Amino acid sequence: MRDYGVEGQLGLEETPEEYVERLVEIFSEVRRVLRGDGTVFLNLGDSYYGGKGASNYNFQKRRESGNLHGDQHNIEATIGGMRPLDAPQDGLKPKDLVGIPWRVAFALQADGWWLRSDIIWSKPNPMPESVRDRPTKSHEYIFLLSKSKTYYYDHEAIKEPFESAEEHAKRKRIVASHGDSEESSTGMAGGHNMLGDPEKGKNKRSVWTVATKPYREAHFATFPQDLIRPCVLAGCPAGGTVLDPFFGAGTTGLVSKQEARGYIGIELNPEYVEMARQRITGSVRWRG
């Protein structure tokens, strides 16, 4: 099997604590360059602990991929995989779920980020698992974080359609009688977090059902465009620039280009850089 790892990449830490610590360090630099009203979308996978020498450690070494939105400086990052642990870890027993996403989220919160939402990426076509003592994993977390209490977030751009005429009528009555925020009137920069125009749909929910799609040209997991699009639309205004510090195959750049945003991609692996360049310029036909 071909090794697509490069020196200095995330995912080779010895312990979960080191992995979390390194991410906090990276995101402290992100916060340094982030606009005051910037937001972060962070996607993280999880794993099971197999214990010393065990072969069932299930934190797969996936390719890091993600985005840091430039003008508004937002990030959607997928950080996957550490190498199998070689020594017992405090509090972790064989077969324990490690809980990497929430460890990172709480560490970032403690470091000063506002943890605003946990979004569930629900996969209708998850990878099969040969397990009989727990459900098959079919979701990942995306965390919405912000640098400050008020921040840029275009909820109108990603509204969902109503499921029925009755639901639509109910929302119109609510807006007509109240017109207030679903949460608070001070949640967003530049105005109230209003329910908005009910004709445009309802506020996007925290469970996003997006199927994974294979890419013939890629040798690692890539983001579906439909997962990245709402992050770009909500987190970066038209004409803004999207900065992706884990560019991978360039899905963020491709979606940003489609949605009239600029993009800057940072990638350690030169093979991925070329793959992303070909994909975004259209010299390779991509599906999804």
What are the residues whose beta carbons fall under 8 Å from the beta carbon of 282, sequence distance 6 or more? none
Give the distance, in angstroms, between the CA of residue 54 and the centroid of all CA atoms in the same chain.
Answer: 30
Q: pLDDT at position 173, please?
A: 65
pLDDT, tens only, 265-279:
888 889 989 999 999
Residue with tokens 């000063």: 112
CA distance 18 to 225: 31
Confidence at 71, pLDDT banded by 50, 70, 90: very low
pLDDT, tens only, 193-241:
455 566 667 889 999 999 988 766 665 667 899 999 999 999 988 998 8
Paired tokens of 144: 């919405």
Domains for the chain: give ranges and CATH numbers.
16-158+204-279 (3.40.50.150), 160-203 (no CATH)
Q: Are 69 and 241 in contact (CB under 8 A)?
A: yes
**Residue 90: how many CB atoms within 10 A of its CB?**
7
Q: pLDDT at position 216, please?
A: 66
Q: pLDDT at position 245, please?
A: 78
Q: pLDDT at position 146, please?
A: 94
pLDDT, tens only, 11-24:
778 889 999 999 99
CA distance 104 to 26: 12
pTM of this structure: 0.77
What percent of the chain has pLDDT above 90?
38
Residue 45 falls in which region: left (phi positive, over 0), alpha (psi -120 to 50) or beta = beta
Residue with tokens 């460890």: 103
